Structure 1
Amino acid sequence: MNRESREAARELCEAGRRAVDLGLSPGASGNVSVRAGDHTLMSPTGVSLRDLDPEGLAVLDEAGEHVSGPPPSKEYPLHLAMYRRVEDARAVVHLHSPHATAASCLPAWSASSALPPVTPYLVMRVGQAPLVPYAAPGSDRLALNLSGLTGTFRAALLANHGSLVAAADPAAALDGAVELEEASRIVISLRGSEYSVLSAEDVRELTERYGTTWEL
C-alpha cells in the first residue's frame, strides 16, 4: 500500500469510528469507501465501522472488481454508482442512522429532495437529497435506481433504508451524513405540525454562496 492509500485508509477508518461514536451506525450496519489513485478502499462485509483496520479494508479496481483484502460490503455497487454520479467525490458514506432512516420511509417532499429546506445548514452543507426508490440492499437494482435519478446532488435518502453522501474526503462525507441526520430529526419532530421552510430566494442565496444545488 503506497502513502496515498495508507492515508486514505486511515481517514476512512477514523470516519467509521466517529460514525459509531455519534450513534449513527448501529451494530455492523453502514459502509464507507474512499478513492485512492486507481483503487477504491471499502469497509468489509459484516464488520462494524468501529472495528475498521487500515490494513483490513477491501480493495476494488477501477472496474469495481475485488482485487485484495476481505470481501467488500454488499453495497459496493451503490458506492460505485455514486462515484459515477459525483465525479469529483473521493469518499462515500452510507449509514442507517435512525432519523434519516425514518425520514426515508416518508413520502419525498419533492421530486428533487426527500427533505424540505427546513434549515439553512441543510441547504448550504448538503444541498438537495432526493429519495432513491426502494430496492433490496446490495442489489444491482438499488444502484440502477440511484443512477436513474435526474438532477444534480451529492446526497440522497434510500427509501426505507438510510442515507448516502459523497464528498471530497471521508470526514466531509460523514459531516454531510450528520447534517442529513439532523435535518431528518427536525422533519420527523415536526410531523403533524404546521411549519415554515426557507423561501426560494433564501435557498437561492445559500446555494450561490456555498456552491450547493437545490431545485425548487
Structure 2
Amino acid sequence: MTGPGTAVEEARREIVRVGTSLFARGYVHASAGNISARVPDGHLITPTDAALGFLEPGRLALVGADGEQIAGDRASKTLTLHRRIYEADPSARFVVHTHSTHLVGLTLAGVWSADDVLPPITPYYVMKVGHVPLVPYHRPGDPRVADLVAERIAAGAANGTPVRAVLLDRLGPVVWGPDAAAALAVLEELEETARLWLLTGRRPEPLPAPALAELRDVFGAAW
C-alpha cells in the first residue's frame, strides 16, 4: 500500500524528472517556469527562482491544503495560480508552466483569437490539446491571473469542452493533467503547433467543419 509519505516522495522524483527533461529539450531556460503536483493534503511546487533543470527533491516546497508552506524552499510566486487550477479541475494532478519560445513568440506576433490562441490546423492539436484561451498580461505571480484561469476552466466545463491549457500573454503556457505524462503531452503538442503556425507565416486555414466533426465522432475530440 502506498502511504502519504511515499506519494510525496514519488511526486518529488517526478517533478525533478520533468524539470530535467524540459530543460534538456529547451522548453525552459534559466529560472523561468514552475512545476507542481497534487499530493495527499496539499501540493508540491518548485521554489521561487529555481532552475528547473537543476532541481533538488528535498528543496521542493511542500504546501498544505490551506496554502501554508510546510517544508522546503520558498514556494514559487505562482502558487496561487497552481492551487486554483487544482480547485477548479478536480482531475488535475500535475501542472506545468513554461516560457516556451514559440508560444511566447505567438503572443508577441499575435494569437489567432482570444478564445483560441491557435487555429485547429492538425488533427492531433484538436484531439490532444483542444481550446486554449489567451490570458491578458499581468505581472508574474499576480494573483488575479488565478481567477481568470479558474473562470476559463469553469466555462470550458460548462460547454463540454474541457480546458487543458491557457496561454499567458508574454509569459507562456500553463498546462495540466491527471499525471505528468498527460500534462507534457499537451505542452508538447501545443508548442509544436505554435511552431508550425509561425513557420508557415500564420497562413494555414483551420481544418474544415466536416473534418472537425469526424474527429469528434471517431475519437471523441472535445472541440
Q: Under a length normalisation based on structure 2, what TM-score does the superposition of the two structures give?
A: 0.88
Partner of 1:185: 195
Three-state SS of the structure 1 residue aligned to 2:108 is coil
Three-state SS of the structure 2 residue aligned to 1:187 is helix
* RMSD between superposed Cα atoms in Å: 1.8
Correspondence 1:90 to 2:93: yes
Q: What is the percent sequence identity of the aligned residues? A: 38
Which digits, 9 at most, give the CA deviation of each residue in 1:99-158, with x for residues without a partner? 011112344423431111111111111111111121111011221222233323011111
Gaps of 5+ in 1: none
Post-superposition shift, 1:75?
A: 0.9
1:55 to 1:208, Cα distance in 2 relative to 1, 3 A? farther
- What is the CA–CA distance in structure 2 between the aligned matches of 1:36 and 1:9, rounded to whole Å? 10
Partner of 2:159: none
Partner of 2:20: 17
- What is the CA–CA distance in structure 2 between the aligned matches of 1:60 and 1:207, rounded to whole Å? 39
Post-superposition shift, 1:49?
A: 0.6
Q: Under a length normalisation based on structure 1, what TM-score does the superposition of the two structures give?
A: 0.91
- What is the CA–CA distance in structure 1 between the aligned matches of 2:8 and 2:194, rounded to whole Å? 33
Correspondence 1:101 to 2:121: no
- What is the CA–CA distance in structure 2 between the aligned matches of 1:7 and 1:178, rounded to whole Å? 23
- Give the alignment of 1:40-55 within 5 angstroms: 40-55=43-58
Gaps of 5+ in 2: 157-161
Correspondence 1:160 to 2:181: no
Which digits, 9 at most, give the CA deviation of each residue in 1:23-68, with x for residues without a partner? 0001111100001111110011111111112221101111222221
Correspondence 1:175 to 2:191: no
- Which stretch of the first structure deviates more once superposed, 16-25 or 147-156? 147-156
Three-state SS of the structure 1 residue aligned to 2:21 is helix
- Which stretch of the first structure deviates more once superposed, 12-21 or 112-121? 112-121
Match of 2:5 among 2, 5, 10: 2
Post-superposition shift, 1:161?
A: 1.1
1:208 to 1:93, Cα distance in 2 relative to 1, 3 A? farther
- What is the CA–CA distance in structure 2 between the aligned matches of 1:208 and 1:74, rounded to whole Å? 41
- What is the CA–CA distance in structure 1 between the aligned matches of 2:174 and 2:140, rounded to whole Å? 13
Match of 1:119 among 108, 122, 137: 122
Q: Please say if residues 116 and 197 of structure 1, whose CA atoms lie closer than 8 Å, have aligned partners that are also in contact.
A: yes
